[in-house]
Amino acid sequence: MSIITVVGAGVMASALSFPARDNGHEVQLVGTPLDRGIIENCRESGWHPTLKRRLPDGTRYFLFEEFEDAARGADLLICGVSSFGVEWFLDSVLPAIPDSLPVLSVTKGMYDTPEGGLISYPEYYESKLGSRQLSLNAIGGPCTSYELADRRHSAVFFCGRDINVLRRLKSMLETDYYHISLSTDVRGIECAVALKNAYALAVTLAVGLAERECGEGCELHYNPQAALFAQSIREMRLLLKMAGCADDNIVPGAGDLYVTIYGGRTRRLGTLLGRGMTFEKAMESLEGVTLESVVIAKRTASAVRKRIEKGQASAEDFPLLLHIDDIISNGAAVNIPWKSFVTEVLL
C-alpha cells in the first residue's frame, strides 16, 4: 500500500481517489485555500459537493494549512489544481516537497512562448525550478471525472521523462476500468489534450447555429458538427507538428475532443455563441466563470499569429482557430469560414 497525497479538491483530482482506494492505497485529499467548503463537507459526510458523489471510504481530508501532515511519507503527489492555479502550485506546493517525491498532474493546459512556441505545464514547472530534479508527470486523454468516479471504462495516458517512474505510477493507479498508456512525449500528450479545449468550443458553435435556425431543443444538425470536428483534427495535427510533437499524439487529443464536445461549460459557451450571443454577453450569462477553453484558444492563437508574422506559418492553415480567437478577442460574430476548410489532395 502507498500513500497518495492529492492537492486540489477539484472534480478530476477527487475522482482519482476511486482507482487509488480500489487498489488499497491511502488517499490524503488536501484542499487549496479555495476548497475549504469542499473539504469541510467531505469531512462531515464524505459527499463531494461538485463531483456530486460520495468519495471512497477511508479517504482522509486536509485543509491546506495541514499540507505538511498530509504529505509526510507520501509516495506520490497528485496535482489537482486547474490551469488558473498553476502559479499557486509552483509557489506554494513544489518548494515544500522533496525531490524524491514524484508529481502527477491532472491540469490540462499550456503556455505560448514569446517565440511562438507551445509548451506544457510540466515543462513550465521545469523552467522555473532551476537545478531541482523533480519528477514531473501528467495525465492526458479522454476521461470525465464523473464517469471515472462511476468506474466506467476510461483510457488515458500518463506522460513523463522517465519510463520507469511512469510504470510505477501506472502500477499504483491502473484498475480493470482505468486503463493507462504511457508516453515520454510530455509536450505531445499535454498539448494535444489542451488544444481540444479550444476546438471543443469551435465544434459546439454548430449546436447553437442549429438552435438559432430551428429553436432551442430542436433536433441537432450533425453534419456541421462533424465538419467542424474534422477541421479541428486537421488544425490540431498541424499545431502539434509546429510544437515539435509526434503525430500520433492526435489520438488522445481526438478522444478528448470528442468527450468534451458533449457536456460542460465549454459546450454551453459554444452553444450560446452559435445562437448569436456576443462573447461578452455569453460570459455574463455563465456568471463570469473562468473557462480553460478560452485561455487555451487565446494562447494558441497568439502563438500562431507570432509564427505568421515571422513567415513560419500560414493563416490559411488555421481558419477555425483564428475565427474562434476573433470571436473571443475582438467580439466578432460567428461566421464559420466553411470555404476555407476545402482542400485538394493529389496522389
pLDDT tens-digit series, residues 153-163: 999 999 999 99
- Residue 271 dihedral angles phi and psi, to the nearest 5°: -65, -45
Q: Where in the chain is the domain with CATH 3.40.50.720?
A: 3-184
Q: Pick from 260, 268, 308: which is nearest to 285 by CA? A: 268
Which pLDDT value is given to residue 288? Answer: 58
DSSP state of 4: E
pLDDT reported for residue 250: 97
Q: What is the pLDDT of residue 329?
A: 96
The pLDDT score that the predictor gives to residue 290 is: 67
- What gap in Å lies between CA 180 and CA 172, rounded to an integer? 11
pTM over 0.85: yes
CATH number of 3-184: 3.40.50.720
- Note the pLDDT of residue 1: 87
Task: Quickly list DSSP for 31-77.
Answer: --TT-HHHHHHHHHHSEETTTTEEPPTT-EEE-GGGHHHHHTT-SEE
Burial of 205 (C-beta count, 10 Å sphere; 0-12/13-18/19+): buried
Check residue 287 and give its pLDDT.
80
DSSP 8-state secondary structure symbol assigned to residue 133:
-
- The reported pLDDT for the residue numbered 296 is 95
CA atoms within 13 A on the CB side of 175: 20
Q: Which fold has domain 195-341?
A: N-(1-d-carboxylethyl)-l-norvaline Dehydrogenase; domain 2 (1.10.1040)
**Ranges of the chain with pLDDT below 50:** none
Catalogue the long-range contacts made by 212-220 (C-beta closer than 8 Å, 24 or more residues apart). Answer: 212/274, 212/275, 212/276, 216/275
List every span in the chain annotated with CATH 1.10.1040.10.
195-341
CB 276 within 8 A of CB 207: no
